Chain A
Amino acid sequence: MSLTNEQVVEFAKKNPISVGCGVLIVALLATAYFRADLPGEAETELEQKSSEAARLAANLKNAAHLKEHFDAVSAAQKQIESRLIQPKQLTTNSQYFYKLESETGVKLLDQGQTALTAAQRKDIKGNYLPTVFTLSVQGDYSQVLTFLRRLENGSHYCRVLTAQCSNSSAERGGQLTLALNLELLGFP
């Protein structure tokens, strides 16, 4: 036995509440089914946005004194650059050692700058370039030590790679000879 349209309409007219509720239930189930994924997606989006917002807020919080720190580092950087040598300015670099010679009283026996090859320059990865110098000075113990201290704590950044110090003469308290192989930090 099949239902005709008239019978369905008549049945709906006789039972409006139950039929209306049935239609509503179907509609609500369909709504619940098709929108079931939305809360999960929204939660995921909320988590992403929350972490992004927290990251930005943390950036702002951590940057509270960043400007002051940056200014301090920039000032230090300017000071550093004022103490760097220019490797290509050979005469200026030599002048530094002659000045130390005159100030400390040692006798500069030999002085030379080792130029880096293009390949060596390429290998250096830092912001600055250490330039190698060889020096040989003569003087008494006090003079040699003063020269060495002035060199290591002087206006340019210096590190001594090798050092040989020995008596120039057989007698004690005589002249010392100091041979140095050192690096001064410079601009690349």
Chain B
Amino acid sequence: MLSLLKKKSEANVPLVPAWHPNFRNFERLPDTKVVRTAFFINVFAITVTLVLLLYVVRKEWDLHTVRVQIADKEQQINRDKPGSDQAVALFKQFQGEEAKVAEVDAFVKSKTAVSTLLIHLGETLPKNIAIDRFDLGKDGLALSATVRGAPDQASGQATAYIEQLRADKELAPLFDDITPTSSGRNPQNGRIMIQLFLRFKGVVGKDGKK
């Protein structure tokens, strides 16, 4: 088609007035150029086709590679799935059993061992102080004690004992506040009596302090 147009354009070139009639039929004359126009068109068409073909083939090859990988993964999944399902089921059973063990552990550790506390208080009790009453409640421990000795010395010993309890490293994780609640003389024997309250950690006191 283009060659036809080419020929026509050549035919339309204004001619120098001929000295004799021009009987040439441009429609039927061959293309006499050294490299024919059709050659360039064909080369261009082939080049575009090849580039496009390479592009499509490359895309298809990539797709094929991904599909091979998918097939490989599916094979792996089919191989591992039964074992994995069994493991998951066993793990669920394990979790159930573990929860029961953890529940027992939490139950046992939720409260202070009273015997341990009693023994510790007994071991650290100063020579002239005797505990009359040990009352462990929800909020803390109430202690009633008698201090032996002259009242002036006994008061000092009671204060020292309170400071000792406050500095006690074994009691520190359990109680956050140790306060004397009352102090006075026993009318029967004249000895100094003190009452202490050791408040558990995390318990809100009457003063609103935690």
Contacts and interface: CB of A to CB of B under 8 A. Distances in A.
A172 B189 CA distance: 13
22 contacts: A15-B41, A28-B55, A35-B60, A39-B63, A42-B70, A46-B69, A49-B77, A52-B77, A53-B80, A59-B80, A70-B97, A74-B97, A77-B100, A80-B100, A128-B100, A148-B118, A152-B114, A157-B104, A159-B108, A159-B111, A161-B138, A166-B132
B199 to A, nearest CB: 15
Nearest to A84: B104
Contacts of B182: none
Interface of B: 1, 38, 41-42, 45-46, 48-49, 52-53, 55-56, 59-60, 62-63, 66-67, 69-70, 73-74, 76-77, 80-81, 83-84, 87-88, 90-91, 93-94, 97-101, 103-104, 107-108, 110-111, 113-115, 118-119, 130, 132-138
B60 to A, nearest CB: 8
B73 A148 contact: no
Interface stretch (A18-26, A86-94, A95-103, A110-118): A18-26
Contacts of A49: 70, 73-74, 77
Contacts of B52: 24-25, 28-29, 32
Given A17-B45, A149-B115, 7 more contacts: A32-B59, A46-B70, A50-B73, A59-B83, A60-B83, A159-B111, A160-B114
